[in-house]
Amino acid sequence: MNAMHITASVFINDDERCLHQDLEIWLEKLAPHEPVARYRHNTGEDNADAHLKRSIMGREAVVAVTNGMLDFGPWEQIFYGEFDGRRKKRVLVKIIGE
Amino acid sequence: MNAMHITASVFINDDERCLHQDLEIWLEKLAPHEPVARYRHNTGEDNADAHLKRSIMGREAVVAVTNGMLDFGPWEQIFYGEFDGRRKKRVLVKIIGE
Amino acid sequence: MNAMHITASVFINDDERCLHQDLEIWLEKLAPHEPVARYRHNTGEDNADAHLKRSIMGREAVVAVTNGMLDFGPWEQIFYGEFDGRRKKRVLVKIIGE
């Protein structure tokens, strides 16, 4: 399963609102949006930081399936991380197997 | 193959003890455990940093198999990264193919 | 598809030269090459930072295929990230499916 956009992520973690806030704050520290002019990509666009954030969080998740159920560990859930808030976003889910 | 815990990683790198120490020190710098109170997730728990470290190192590794052998490059080995030292941990290994 | 070297990455992002410069500058800030002596791995080698950079960017990309075409979102392209400039490098591409 993968984000179909290069400024977004599909990742697996805890469904805990405060943790997601921690993630946002932390990503903003590692790859700040401002100052926009620090990034060479930002000519006409201002979302270079979103590309970097997506690089940390990853593009895709691969999850095993057994008897029609996702093989999740405790608390594992799949999230879509949106880092620039542009366009309509889509996720691709592909299932293969016997 | 994936860690079944949201504070742990399965990753592939060199089996070199000093490198693993470098990784630990580096992750601690990017996502410090202390001060525990900096993270909103840490109410009752104090492992928010472990969730962040796992986000950098990734949850899973997908390895091709040919004739029953893992298609590894030179020095590639699979490791389990444990970032909070809680609970008994498990790894899921799923093999698919013809 | 994966890098066969533990100091390199296969990743998916925009084919935009300035963005790739941003990525390089950003990775150098998160995992600086210098001072070489800061890393314990660097005894005889000096590429510890390349191992860390590859940890952020990831080792592999898993891409769905439908009717012989990669299921890419807009602008998605696959890149090989080389972080230490040593050895001849190789990428493994494995295709599975019905």
pLDDT, averaged across chain C: 93
Minimal CA separation from C42 to chain A, in Å: 25
Which chains pack against A, by 3+ Cβ pairs within 8 A? B, C
| B98 has pLDDT over 70 | no
d(C-alpha B94, C-alpha C24), whole Å: 34
Could you read off the pLDDT of A25-52 as tens digits, one per residue? Answer: 999 999 999 999 999 999 988 999 999 9
Residue A98's pLDDT band (cuts 50, 70, 90): low
A-C Cβ pairs (cutoff 8 Å, strict): 65
Give residue-wise pLDDT tens across range C18-40: 999 999 999 999 999 999 999 99
Q: Which residues of B touch A67 (CB under 8 A)?
A: none
Residue C44 pLDDT: 86
pLDDT digits (tens, 9 = 90+) for A51-97: 999 999 999 999 999 999 999 998 999 999 999 987 778 999 999 87
Residue C79 to residues A8, C18, C61, C82, Cα–Cα distance (Å): 17, 14, 10, 10
- Give the model's pLDDT for residue A54: 97
Q: In whole angstroms, give the CA distance from residue B5 to residue B51.
A: 10
Question: Does the beta-carbon distance from A18 to B41 stay under 8 Å?
Answer: yes
* CB-nearest partner of A76 from B6, B40, B96: B6
- Rounded distance between C-alpha atoms, residue A8 and residue A64, angstroms: 22
CB pair distance less than 8 Å for B59 and A11: yes
Cross-strand partners of B81 = B9
Burial classification of residue A23, based on how many CB atoms lie within 10 Å of its CB (0-12 exposed, 13-18 middle, 19 or more buried): buried
For the residues A9-34, what does the mean pLDDT come to?
Answer: 97
